[in-house]
Structure 1
Amino acid sequence: MTRISFYFSTLSPFTYLAATRVEEIAARHGVEIIYKPLDIMAMFGRTGGTPPKDRHPSRQEYRLIELERQAKKLGLPLNLKPAFWPTNPAPSSYAIIAAQNAGGGDLGKLHHAFTRAVWAEDKNIAEDDVIRDCLKSAGFDPALADSGLLTGAETYVQNLEDAVSEGVFGAPFYITSDGAKFWGQDRLEDLDLHLAAPAE
């Protein structure tokens, strides 16, 4: 079975704008998704990127223009100045890793719940209550917020190493098992077309 390695950050507004479209694409093609949350700020430092706050003002301005434009196009609510951004993404990432290991819920809904909490609901995804609510809303046991912390931390670090070694430099980033790479929520149509293409 073809797999998609889905690299993302629970802080990423563009991952929020991707919503659950990769899950819809994967279901359509019978493809498995491996969820790989990572520390995007650390990845910027490893791959030549610059955190948003350190970018030239013109780049910062255009980023906000593009976010607003894409959110309107997709019909998603968006707060350009969220109350809790940036915050610590590790706890929410550990919860996703624990949920993926445990099974029984909807991982697409879970990662979107976290990004929506940041970019549309002004919630702090580093707080236990928010993490538990997101887990519950996606059909997972809220107690996963307290389990597998060591495994979560180790996997979180490994996801960054995997990302760097595979050429990932932004989020969301999708890599299929045949090595095709797609960066950004605006490349999901291309991912869909790639998966639909007959094998050569």
Structure 2
Amino acid sequence: MSKRGYHHGNLRQALVEAALGLIEEKGPTGFTLSEAAKIAGVTPAAVYRHFEGREALIVDCARQGYAIFADLMEHAWNGGKPSALAAFGATGRAYLAFARKYPGHYMAMFEAGLSPNREPALAPLAARAMGVMEAATAAITAHLPEDRRPPPAMVAAHIWAMSHGVVELYARGEPGARAPFPPADLLESGIGIYLRGLGLIAPDG
């Protein structure tokens, strides 16, 4: 048996990185543990020292993705500066940027059939990212009368769904190949229409 894997500096992370490349190339269900092991330079048996199976490896890819995603969202929100509205728009752009820069993580998170609420490793990180969106929506809706103020969690879910839809339909694959407009413009205009509907920004002049 080759002992190459025993001398690997960080075998667990090497396997995650191998899986991320395979996920980007073949999708979350299109690769095998043996393929990941080969790329990492170890035997398939070595994988089981760190992961119970392929799903556990994908979960770790998603876990790292959610951590990066939550950090990006917090950075974009920036405590609501320079204004809550500007920072809110930045969180939408951060979603698109994450999907473009980290496609393997994105696919592990959202296309592998994982439910963050059922995965202890994912739940707190997914909640942190959603918490940023909820804080942002609470800030921009705070001035509305209470009887007209939508629940922050609902607004956050709507914006998250809109961002996800733009990514899936228009920001994947060759940039702009299927988009009638640049994805960032689509998302910004969609958020603008939504916020105008809530009376949060003035109508176009």
TM range (shorter): under 0.3
TM-score where L is the length of structure 2: 0.26
TM-score where L is the length of structure 1: 0.26
Larger-Rg structure = 2
Higher relative contact order (CA 8 A, sep 6+): 1
Please identify which structure carries the higher strand content: 1
